[in-house]
Structures are given as structure tokens and as C-alpha cells.
Amino acid sequence: MVLFSLLLQTILIIFGSRRKTIASSWIRILVWSAYLSADMVATVALGNLARSQGDSSCDGSKKANNSIQEFWAPFLLLHLGGPDTITAYSIEDNELWLRQLLGLVSQVGVAFYVFSRSWGSRILTFIAIPMFIVGIIKYAERTWVLRSSSSDGLRNSILSKFRPFYPLRESSKTFQQALKGNYLLQAYTFLDISMFMLQDLVPGIPALMNSQLLISKNLADDAFKVVEVELGLIYDMLYTKAPLVYSLVGIILRSISFLLSSTAFVSFHVTVDRHAYSTIDIAITYLLFVAAVFLEFYAFLCLVLSDWTMIWLIDDGGNAISSTIYSLIRKLTRSERWSRSIAKHNLISTCFEKKPHKCLELLGIDVMMRQMYVNREDMNVGLRRCIFGHLQKKCEKIKESFNLIDKNFRSKVISQRGDGVLEREGLLLQFKWCTTEVDFSRSILVWHLATDICYRVEKNANNTFSEYETSRYLSEYMLYLLVMRPNMLSKGTSDEGYLDTLEDLRGLKSRVIRGNKAMSKKDFADQILLDNKFDGIDDMQFQRQWKIAKSVLNGGVCLTKQLRSLEFEKRWKMISEVWIEMLAYAAAHCPWKEHAQELRRGGELLTHVCFLMLHLGLSEQYEFSQFDYYQVHQADLQILPLEMNELKTIVVDKDREVKELRKILAEKDQELELLRSRSTASTPQQGIGALPGCSPAQSDNQGTGQTSSNNEISLSME
């Protein structure tokens, strides 16, 4: 059992942190099995040691073997403390810190009982003391980290250092360095506000403005890299011992643990008579020592080669030595911080697969079997650029309308799920039936089917249009979220329509494939169009069927015909932007808890889009208050970004222009009134031009009068 416990610890050490960069199911199953088994096996092993203690009547050899087996108790405490790379398998485990605290008290008591049975003058007793200290430190660390990463712990920690004005990093030097384009410092700067949002707290508008300033200075690839690093830091805070390890107290504890473990190992090797004990027991003891030292050394390497260390090296500007160390660490570390892939699911491809057996449906395993029909592909650069460009346009739309602090306007922009693009193209009336007038899940299904049919029917070697492939990527990714991750979509989303549509597709395939058993998916897409029995969306029969049917097969065909009536490039550009807007809508309405859960599964594109939107200000959580207004005017240039000063300058200039326009308008009004008075006065004067009383007025500037002349002179001077 002791060796099995050691094996489980080794698995957790090696693969515990790799799960955030690997999206495959095998690593989740492996880590999940090891995580659930590790504590149980170590506890059972400790109980077996307590039971196997010999009494005083035992012979000398058995007493010796018992004493060295009792020496293993501190190592089991070390195993119960777990590795630094994983403290919680899911965020729910953090809420069980009280259970872990009870386990700490009880297991330390059992280990001390086992150890006390062999207490005496033997050298093993004194060697075991430092290992006991290390084991208690490790176990206590895990309990403290679980408490710190729980919802209450995070909220209290965030609020304790909360600055109501600005929940970003307050160091102006760090902020200015981040402005220069260092993606590590930008991610570190965003960490506070991200953790703030994860607890459903409400930051102010100044935080929004600072976020916009930082993220908007990046190109698409760099912006995604910033979010990638930021999510890696959040993963460390939620699932590892990072809250403690990367602190001064954590570094001191690491130094103490490594020193004590090494000292105990050397002392055992030098002072213990290995011939007095069983060879197997000696081998197991050496293995436990090597594993303990390796665990400390691996933790040290993880500390040195982490993003946290690189951020620390460059946070204060650094010098020649720190810059050299930083460059060396950058070469040694892997650049991947998440899987950098997206999962895809396709309706037509699934209907060609064999239907799961009925017994699987009765057992509820058929939902898990859908994972077999999911494929993953690396995310290409073009997709990132399309997404970031679309989000920037939304951000500029808010800024241009001077509605930065208007939460309702931001909510309106964020809540667009395809209708924003269609309205801009002047096509919203034709496509309302499949966007705003239906549930989001139904909209995803019908647009996916139409996009897939268009893609397969028009697929040829000449279609190199970037939006052509982008549309297919996002269409299949959104269907994957609907089928496999419905909790990440808006509330009330279900896959009910998916099953009915899949059944209709399978029924159609079984009818048409009889005469052509080798039918390709492209031919099947053509057959779907030919099998349609409705003339279009204006068909009254279709409208009745669309309102009551769960399947979207007929709707997908009608939408396909509508889309194919558009010009090729315009069609695919519009489809691509509709899907990006749907993706943004889903990202904005996904609960923060679901985003946090996905970090342990290799990450999701939806999470990256959500955090990009957050930093671009596309979030409903930002709120404006009078305190923000006060802080904006009191903070001055050290905290406020340059964009605030630019906005102030723009407002002042606009105000000056308005005053000048008002002044000109007042002068023009005066001039107009003067002209009107002259026109009324000129009619009677035409017949009495020789009157003496009129001669002065006639002699001034061709009868216009002195007053008018002075007004014209003053106007020309102004």
C-alpha cells in the first residue's frame, strides 16, 4: 500500500499540471482516478501500519522490521499533503477544506501513534522527526490552500485588498511597463480584475477604461497570448498551491522542507545499519526518501520555471542579471499554456455513424458516447484575427457613441446573437425567424445545419475564402458546446432539438441511401436540399411546422436557400460574422464557474473570448457610480491611463467648438433680424427718397445705414 501511494503521488506530480494543456479524455481519467485514490490509499496504509505494530514479546528481527515500517508514517503524511501541482481536481474540492482540516488532525494523530510505538533510543527515531515536520507542513499547506481557494476565501482575500476605484494592479511602474507590450505583465495586471469578476463582484468604470487601454494595444495573436497567460495564472490560483508557494512564507517553507528532507536522507544513508533490517524494507525506505527529495526538487523547478517567476524578474524593470535569467527561463519553458485546440461536432457526420444501442440509452451512457463523435483541431491564426477584429468593432461602437458608462447600451450590444450583423447588412427582417424569434439553442442548430449544407454543396478546391473555413469551424464548435457543454451556454439551453433533428437526418439517410450505399456526405447534403417540400419561409405550412416541431431540418433547408440567394463572398462573410456574434453572446452569458471548470479540461475557446470581451469592456458587470467620478478626478496621471486624458481633451475641445458655434449662431440671428428690419423699412422709403430726414441714411453705404455698416465690420473682424 505504501508503494501504491507513492505511485499515485508520482502520477499527480507529473500529470497534475499537464491537464491544463491537454484536452484529451485519457489525462482527465488518469488524474481523476489518482486524485480520488491517493488520500484513501495513504489513509489505509497508515491504518495498516497502526495495526501491524508488534508487542514487546516479539523477537528482535520482527521488532526491527516494525520499527523501520513505523518510520514510513511521516512519508504517508507527506503523501496526504499532496504535490504542489494539484490540490483540487475541481473547484468544488476547494469548498471541502474543513473536511481536509479534520483529516489533518486525525491523520497526524494516527501517524504520531504509530511513531510513538517505536519511540526509543534508536537512530530512526531522531531521523523521523524532521520528516514528521515536513509531512505536517505539507498537509497543513494543502488545507490552507484549499481554504484560500474556496469561494469565501477568495472573496475575503479580494475584498481585503480591494481598491474601490481600481481593482487592477496599483503599481504605476508595472502598468507603464505593461503598456509597452509585455504580455506577461499585461496578464499579471489583469489578474486582479479577473479574480474580482470570478466572484461576481462589480468593478467600476475606471477599471474598464484601463483594461481597454491595455488590451487594445495588442494585435490579435498577442491579445490571445495575454489571455492565455492570464488564464494560466488563474488556474494556478484555483487548482494548485500557487497562492502559498509564490509568497514569501511559501518560499521559506519550501526551503525548510527541502533542507529537512535532504538532512534526513543523508542521515539515514550514513548512520543506519542496513543489515539490521529486511532488504525489501530498506529498498522501500530509500524509494520513499528519493521520492520525497524529488518532490521538493520538482516543486523548486516548477517555481523557478513558472510565469510567476518571469513576472517577478521583469516587474521592477530588472537589471542585466535578471534579464539574462529571464531569457534563459523563456528558452527552457514550454510556450503552451492551454490546449490551443477547439472541439467540433457535426450533425451530418454524426448521422452517418452507427446509432448507440438501446440499452446504452436506458443506462444514460448514450450522452457520454457522444464524445466519440467529437473531433479536435488546432486553432488557426485566421480564426483568432476574425474574432478579435469583431470584438474590437463592438468596443469601438460603444466608444464612438459615448456610451461607455451606459450599462443598458453595453447590454444591448453584448446581447446581439447574429441580429447585429444582419441589421447592419439590412437583412434582419428576412432572417428574424431563425435568430431573435427563436431560442438560442434552436438558432445554433438551424444555422449549423444551413452552414454545413452550404459548405458541403459549395466545397471545391477554389474556395480559399478565409470566412468560408471560419464559418465551418465556429459552426461545429458551437454545436459541440450545445451538445457536450450546454451549461456553458445561456441559462435554459438544452439539446432537445438536437436529438429530433438527428433522428430526422437518420431517417432521411435510410430512405435515400438504399439505392446508393456509397453515398458521400456531399451527395447527402444535395439530397437534403432536393427533399425539401416547402417553397420558403413564406409558406404557411412551413410557418406552422416551424412553430411546433422540435426538429430544425426543414428550417435548415429554408435558411440554406435564403443564404444561397446572396453573392458568394457576401454570404460567407455574413455567415462568419453571425457565428462570431453568437460566440460572443455565449461567452458573455456563460457563468464564471463554468469558465473556471473548463481550465482543468485543457481550456475552451469560449473562455478566452469571454476574457477578451471583459478586458475590452464588453461586460455587463461594470457599473458607474459617483465614487468612480470622484476617483477619476482625484487619481491624476499616476493611476488613470492616457485614454482618460485623451477623453478629457476631446470633451474640452468639443465644448469649445459648441461655444463658438453658439456665438456664431447668435451673431447670425442678429444679422438676420437686422436684414428683416431693413426689408420692412425699404418699402415706404422708395417713394420718399428726397425727404431731408432720409438723406443721412441714404448717404451711408448705399442706403444701408451706419448701424449695418458697423455690424458688418465687426462680423468680418471676428
| Interval 418-444: pLDDT, tens | 999 999 999 999 999 999 999 999 999
Rounded to an integer, what distance in angstroms lies between the CA atom of residue 556 and that of residue 438?
Answer: 13
Cell numbers for 708, please give them.
449695418
Q: Is 409 helix (H, G, I), strand (E, B) or coil?
A: helix
Q: Is residue 232 part of a domain?
A: no
Same domain, 272 and 357: no
345 with 284, same domain: the answer is no
Residue where a domain stops, chosen among 569, 601, 633: 601
pLDDT of 274 higher than 70: yes
**pLDDT given at position 279:** 85
Give yes or no: residues 8 and 109 share one domain: yes
d(CA 491, CA 24): 27
For residue 686, tell me if it sits in a domain. Answer: yes
Distance, CA of 360 to CA of 28 (rounded, Å): 22
**HEC states along 618-642?**
CCCCCECCHHHHHHHHHHHHHHCCH
What is each CA distance from 202 to 93, 164, 197, in whole angstroms? 26, 10, 7
Q: Which residues contact 473 (CB under 8 A, 6 or more apart)?
A: 342, 344, 377, 380, 383
- Give yes or no for a contact between 214 and 186, defined as CB atoms under 8 angstroms apart: yes
Nearest to 536 by CA among 565, 569, 512, 574: 565
Query: Among candidates 383, 259, 235, 245, which has minimal Cα distance to 302?
Result: 245
User: Mean of the pLDDT values across residues 274-286?
Assistant: 84
| Cα 591 from Cα 606, distance rounded (Å) | 11
Band (322; pLDDT cuts 50, 70, 90): low
> What are the backbone dihedrals phi and psi of residue 341, each rounded to the nearest 5 degrees, phi first?
-140, 160
CB 602 within 8 A of CB 501: no
Report the distance separating Cα 94 and Cα 705, nearest Å.
90
**What pLDDT shows up at residue 245?**
87
pLDDT digits (tens, 9 = 90+) for 695-714: 443 334 434 444 444 443 33
Give the tens place of pLDDT for each residue, 208-250. 777 888 888 888 998 999 999 999 999 999 999 988 888 888 8
Asked whether residue 628 is domain-assigned, the answer is no
Give the range among 382-396, 493-507, 601-615 with minimum mean pLDDT.
493-507
CB 422 within 8 A of CB 577: no
Query: Residue type for 521, please?
Result: K
Q: With the C-alpha atoms ordered 702, 708, 713, 715, is the resulting torsion angle positive or negative? A: negative
Give the lowest-confidence range in 235-244, 265-274, 278-287, 456-465: 456-465
pTM of the model: 0.81
512 assigned to some structural domain: yes
Boundary (domain end) residue, out of 290, 306, 322: 306
- CA 478 to CA 441: how far, in whole Å? 10
Question: What letter does residue 623 receive in the DSSP assignment?
Answer: B
Q: Which residues are paired to 375 by β-bridges?
A: 344
Residues 558 and 427 in one domain: yes
**Pair (252, 134) in one structural domain:** yes
Same domain, 441 and 365: yes
Count the neighbouring beta carbons within 10 Å of the beta carbon of residue 636: 10
How many domains are there within the chain? 3
> Please, which residues bridge with residue 343 across strands?
376
What are the start-end ranges of the H helices in 117-167? 123-149, 151-160
Q: Which residue has the cell 503552451?
A: 336
Evaluate whether residue 329 is within a structural domain: no
The pLDDT, as a whole number, for residue 640 is 44
Nearest-angstrom CA–CA distance, 578 and 293? 55
Domain endpoint, select from 306, 323, 356:
306
Alpha carbons 516 and 523: distance in angstroms, whole number: 10
Q: Report if residue 266 sits inside a domain.
A: yes
pLDDT in tens, 346-385: 999 988 887 766 665 665 566 666 777 888 888 888 899 9
- pLDDT winner (highest mean) among 176-180, 481-485, 525-529: 481-485
Q: Please report, rounded to a whole number, the percentage of residues in the chain having pLDDT higher than 90.
A: 27
Which residues have a Cβ under 8 Å from the Cβ of 27 and sit 6 or more positions away?
15, 18, 19
Are 589 and 658 in the same domain?
A: no
Supply the range of the domain harboring residue 586: 341-378+415-601
376: DSSP letter: E
Question: How, if at all, do strands 341-344 and 375-378 pair?
Answer: antiparallel
Helix (H, G, I), strand (E, B) or coil at 204: strand
Contact (Cβ atoms closer than 8 angstroms) between residue 261 and residue 296: yes
Q: Please state, rounded to an integer, the average pLDDT across all residues of the chain.
A: 79
How many distinct helices (H) and strands (E) make up the chain?
A: 37, 2
**Runs of H (alpha helix) within 466-603:** 466-484, 496-512, 521-530, 540-548, 553-564, 568-589, 592-598
State how far the alpha carbon of 317 is from the alpha carbons of 91, 175, 312, 642, in Å: 35, 11, 10, 21
Distance CA 378, CA 350 (A): 21
Whether residue 660 is contained in a domain is answered as yes
132 and 266 in a common domain: yes
Tell me the three cell numbers of residue 437: 424569434
The pLDDT of 18-44, averaged and rounded, is 91
Q: Tell me the residue length of the chain.
A: 718
Instruction: Please tell me the distance from the alpha carbon of residue 321 to that of residue 367, in angstroms, as a whole number.
Output: 55
Please compute the mean of the pLDDT values over residues 56-85 and round it to a whole number: 73
Confidence of residue 334 (pLDDT cuts 50, 70, 90): low
Q: What are the distances in angstroms from CA 448 to CA 236, 299, 347, 560?
A: 36, 46, 8, 10
Q: Which three cell numbers stand for residue 28?
A: 482527465
354 versus 717: the higher-pLDDT residue is: 354
Q: Are 284 and 350 members of one domain?
A: no
Is 668 found in the same domain as 569?
Answer: no
- Report if residue 260 sits inside a domain: yes
Q: Are both 575 and 654 inside the same structural domain?
A: no
Looking at the structure, do residues 650 and 577 belong to the same domain, yes or no? no
The per-residue pLDDT for 385 is 92
